[in-house]
């Protein structure tokens, strides 16, 4: 996560990530309404399938990048004290990074 990520690039990352997250969510909705996994092994096999696991990993990466840009905008709009703002942005970055590592660990566990 790049603190220097400014203007156009952040805007583009936000939109591209939004489209991926939206499409993947739609895919999940369709998958769970038409072909919901009926048992633990079915569920784990589905998540552990290489193509699905990679799509899930990309989903979390896109989701967290999208969250970063969105929350960064919120903090920049409402937190004006420079020190508080920096601490808040740092806390946000660490939080999102931790979420990403956690999600990827869970997905790696399902793939083995």
Which residues bind to other proteins, rule: CB under 8 A? 15, 18-19, 22, 25, 39-41, 43-44, 47, 60, 63-64, 67, 70-71, 74, 80, 99, 102-103, 106, 109-110
Measured CA to CA in angstroms, residue 37 lies from 14, 26, 33, 44, 46 at distances of 31, 17, 10, 9, 8
CB of 4 to other proteins, least distance (A): 22
CB of 68 to other proteins, least distance (A): 9
CB 24 within 8 A of CB 55: yes
- Dmax (CA) of the chain: 52
C-beta of 55 vs 70, nearer to other proteins: 70
CB of 29 to other proteins, least distance (A): 10
Measured CA to CA in angstroms, residue 9 lies from 3, 14, 69, 96 at distances of 12, 8, 10, 19
C-beta of 19 vs 30, nearer to other proteins: 19
């Amino acid at each position: 996560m790049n603190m220097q990520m400014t203007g156009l690039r952040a805007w583009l990352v936000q939109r591209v990530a939004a489209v991926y997250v939206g499409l993947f969510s739609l895919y999940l909705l369709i998958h769970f309404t038409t072909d919901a996994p009926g048992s633990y092994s079915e569920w784990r096999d589905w998540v552990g399938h290489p193509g699905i696991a990679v799509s899930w990993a990309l989903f979390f990466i896109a989701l967290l990048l999208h969250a970063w840009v969105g929350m960064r905008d919120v903090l920049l709009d409402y937190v004006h004290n420079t020190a508080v703002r920096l601490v808040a942005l740092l806390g946000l970055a660490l939080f999102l990074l931790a979420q990403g590592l956690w999600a990827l660990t869970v997905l790696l566990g399902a793939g083995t």
